[in-house]
Amino acid sequence: MSDDQPEEAAGGSTGDGTDITDRDEDRPGTDDTPGDGTGTTDPADHTPGDGTGTTDPADDGTGTATAPARPAYDVGGTTGEPGGTSRDPARPAPRRLRAAVLAVVALVATVGAVATVRQPPPRPDGLVILYGDSLATEASGAFVDELARTSDAEVVTRPVPGASPCDGLATMQDDLARRPTVVVIQYVGNSSSACSRGPDGQPLGEQEHIDRTVADVRAATELFATRGTRVVLVGGPDVPGLPGNPGRALADAYNRIVNEWAGRDLGRVRYADAAATVSGPDHAYADRRPCRDDEGEAQGCAGGEVVVRGPDRIHFCPQPDATLVCPVPSPGARRFGVEMARVARLALDPDY
């Protein structure tokens, strides 16, 4: 090439007439730096030849250079090439940055959700008082234990064996000063107390006795419910050992009182069907029931059954003549007490 001949741009011909094609002409950011007069292409991309034309290790002998493969970049163009774009290596690529931010946000949301799920609900507190007869006496241990397991309530037990509701009215009146949160009332129909007899001291007839018992339980309910205390009435089981077997009739009457209160103040008075835990189908009397999942040998399960009623056909203890303190496991007393406590626990919740 003569000194006064203009230099060909990339993509022209070399001094010997051989065409040279810049393989980078279609790539964004390709260097267009002019050669040294020998027809050499971008020195950053090719190896200079011997002056007769640029060659590449992959040259096919015609003088045409093949550019080596260039490293691929995710985003942002080329780096360090003359005429190309550059990116601060300390600055993360936008796509990677977005992915990192999204990952952190997802992690924070997941941790927050797990923390919310794992937070236990608050345990209710307050004062719970249990009134009743010998059935409540037998079941009081399980009643106290279950409420201690499920709440932080203070629990007071006041059952008296052989008592009628009229025997407990004076004590209930006194307990109003303690402003109990929940009271549990259980009476199965004893008739030996003087207050449960007629004016002449003689026992009442079967229906008269039921009517008197229901009237006293209704009075006790009014006493507490009208002052803001929640009341749980306990339905008792069949008691063939008591005169007239008033258990189921009284349970039905207690349920009616609950329904009456539902129209006045829903939830103020509740029913605990504790009888169902120790009865057969349709609340029929049964002295044995199938073992539950939480009843093993230590709870009296034998041959797939537990004894839930005593030999006197009134109480729960399987041992004869042992009602107040049972020397053997008493699954019936435990079931009865746990069910009373379950409903009392619900009544402790002001939103339930």
How many CB atoms sit inside 10 A of residue 317's CB?
Answer: 23
How many angstroms separate the CA atoms of 90 and 75, rounded? 14
How many angstroms separate the CA atoms of 178 and 160, rounded? 20
Domains and CATH numbers, the chain: 8-70 (no CATH), 127-348 (3.40.50.1110)
Buried-state track 225-235, b at ≥16 Cβ within 10 A, e below 16: beeebbbbbbb
How many angstroms separate the CA atoms of 234 and 160, rounded? 15
How many angstroms separate the CA atoms of 351 and 294, rounded? 29
Scan for tokens 């077997």, then name that residue.
245
Give the per-residue pLDDT at 117.
61
Give the per-residue pLDDT at 4.
45
How many angstroms separate the CA atoms of 133 and 190, rounded? 8
Say which amino acid occupies 340. M
How long a stretch of residues is the chain? 352
Tell me if 21 sits within 8 A of 47, measured CB to CB: no
CA 88 to chain centre: 50
Scan for tokens 């267009």, then name that residue.
32
Strand bridging mode 288-290 / 154-157: unpaired
Q: Is 71 exposed, middle or buried (0-12, 13-18, 19+ CB in 10 A)?
A: exposed
Give the per-residue pLDDT at 40.
44
How many angstroms separate the CA atoms of 327 and 317, rounded? 8
Tell me the torsion sign for CA atoms 308, 313, 318, 323: positive
Say which amino acid occupies 105. V
Q: What is the DSSP string of 255-316?
A: HHHHHHHHTTSTTSEEEE-GGGGG--GGG---SEEEPPTT--GGGT-BTTEEE-S-TTSSSS
What are residue 141's phi and psi, to 5 degrees? Answer: -60, -50
Strand bridging mode 305-307 / 288-290: antiparallel
CA atoms within 13 A on the CB side of 39: 22
The conformation of residue 201, written as its DSSP 8-state character, comes to: S
Per-residue pLDDT of the chain (352 residues; tens, 9 = 90+): 444 444 444 444 444 444 444 444 444 444 444 444 444 444 444 444 444 444 444 444 444 444 445 544 444 444 444 444 445 555 555 677 777 777 776 776 665 665 556 677 789 999 999 999 999 999 999 999 999 999 999 999 999 999 999 999 999 999 999 999 999 999 999 998 999 999 888 999 999 999 999 999 999 999 999 999 999 999 999 999 999 999 999 999 999 999 999 999 999 999 999 999 999 999 999 999 999 999 999 999 999 999 999 999 999 999 988 867 899 999 999 999 999 999 999 999 988 7
Give the per-residue pLDDT at 249.
96
Q: What is the DSSP string of 300-333?
A: T-BTTEEE-S-TTSSSS-SSTT--SS-SS--HHH
Give the per-residue pLDDT at 322.
80
How many angstroms separate the CA atoms of 352 and 342, rounded? 13
How many angstroms separate the CA atoms of 345 and 128, rounded? 9
